[in-house]
Amino acid sequence: MVEMPTLGKRVKIIAQTPSGSTSHQGVVLPGAAPDHLTIKLANGYNISYPLSSVDSIEEIGDSTTPGKVEHSIDQNQELPKVTIIHTGGTIASKVDYTTGAVIARFEPEELLASVPEILEIANIDAIKLGNMWSDDIRPTHWNKMIDACQNAFDSGSVGVVITHGTDTLHISASALSFAFAGNGGKPAGRIVFTGSQRSSDRASSDATENLLSAVYWAANGPEVTGEGDAAVTVMHAGSGDGVCAVSPGIAVRKMHSTRRNAFQMVNGERISEITITRDGLSHTPTNLSSNREISNPTKYDTNIRIAQFVAGPHLHNDLIDAAINSGYSAILIHGTGLGHLPIENPNGDAPENEELYNTIKSSPIPIIIANQCINGPVDLNVYSKGRNQQEIGVLGHGGTSSPEALLAKVHWALSNGKDLSILEENLCGENQPTLRS
């Protein structure tokens, strides 16, 4: 019996199958089962054979030091044009099996070559904004995404797909939602964010189905209304294969660090679901509608900085003072329950609460409350404490959006000269009126 080759090596194998001898080339992955050889093929798929059925293994290279591969891709010009805007993340990554680390490696062209089925859905244009982990994305990158989307629409694309790391994907989706629809308009085409929880060369990867579904929606989804769908996310709907969820970018949140269905709705419902079968892709009907007109997007002032704190036993006034003295533009506090802060001292044994109260009352910059509970509204009318917070200038009452969507909304409002009273409004699907008091 042949010996198991080294992980990460590029090999040529000859194996016996019920149909006879067959030959493959690919990169060695961890075995799908004990005593099984699993390799990643050039088309992106994995194959696995019992080691006992493998006649020969020839090492032909090392995947850890690849040269750039040029892919010649023929496209059907009759299909809808979709632009893939590549920012990085796990969807564009591979495992370096010599170290065990996931590294960003794919170029846009490599994404197309690894999932050739995309070319049956749309005529693809691919551009690269970077190869960033989503933790490193800042408002300056939101502006670059906004420009790239508008340029794609101006060049004839009916939709764009932004490949993005999942950790902050929902924040960028919120930012683009306000950029394109915050003023009451809508983008000229569909904007779809997608990523993957597991790199494309893992047997359990969600990358292929997420990307296929995202391109499908960008090419074939319903007309954009601007009310919840200005930017959407397309990710796995469950732990299994075959169904991806289309969710409002303004009302979805990453709720799990590893599961494939990590993205869940906050105070709302999915827009649609995309089903993937051998016969192709299809989606469930949608019920969004509006009379909004296509408008040019707005941008984010990258000089604006927003400090974030969490309400609880360790929230002290010196944190608020530090943000004010450091020149922050606003403060967002993730409040407890209905949006409360530790600002009262009924027993006379917590003077720090009174200090926090006085600091907030005299703050020269806006202080806004987000919902630490994630689901449910911020309601500062129910308890006297909430009414006291409103009296000293705390904003955010009536909000039902996720903390991340609220963060983007505050930044967008300050960037575009808006009065922060709009935080109580539903600009583009972020505040669901059915939950508001």
Considering the chain, what percentage of its residues have pLDDT values greater than 90?
70
Q: Tokens 């289309």: give the residue.
A: 246
Q: Could you tell me the pLDDT band of residue 33, with boundaries at 50, 70 and 90?
A: confident
Question: What's the pLDDT at 63?
Answer: 54
In this predicted model, what pLDDT tens digit does every residue of 277-324 receive, in sequence order?
989 999 999 988 889 999 999 999 999 999 999 999 999 999 999 999
Per annotation, catalytic residue among 38, 83, 87, 90: 90
Q: Tokens 């909430």: give the residue.
A: 386
Tell me the mean pLDDT in the region 89-97: 60
CB neighbours (10 Å) of residue 143? 19
Q: Could you tell me the pLDDT band of residue 103, with boundaries at 50, 70 and 90?
A: low
Task: Specify whether 167 is catalytic.
Answer: yes
Comparison of pLDDT for 67 and 45, the residue scoring more: 45
Per annotation, catalytic residue among 166, 233, 298, 400: 166
Per annotation, catalytic residue among 254, 400, 409, 418: 254
Tell me the mean pLDDT in the region 341-345: 98
Crossing angle of helices 169-181 and 139-154, rounded to 10°: 60
Q: Which residues of 287-310 are buried (b: 16+ CB within 10 A; e: fewer)?
A: ebebebeebebbebeeebebbebe
How far apart CA 305 and CA 257 sit, in angstroms, is 27
Q: DSSP code of 389?
A: H
Task: Specify whether 9 is catalytic.
Answer: no
In this predicted model, what pLDDT tens digit does every residue of 168-209 receive, in sequence order?
999 999 999 999 999 999 999 999 999 988 665 555 578 889
- Could you give all domains of the chain from N- to C-terminal order, each with its CATH number? 9-62 (2.30.30.520), 81-283 (3.40.50.1170), 306-435 (3.40.50.40)
Q: Tokens 């769908």: give the residue.
A: 229
Cα→Cα distances 93→66, 114, 130, 304, 327, Å:
14, 12, 13, 32, 38
Considering the chain, what percentage of its residues have pLDDT values greater than 70?
88
Question: What's the pLDDT at 435?
Answer: 66
Per annotation, catalytic residue among 167, 206, 229, 379: 167
Question: What's the pLDDT at 7?
Answer: 84
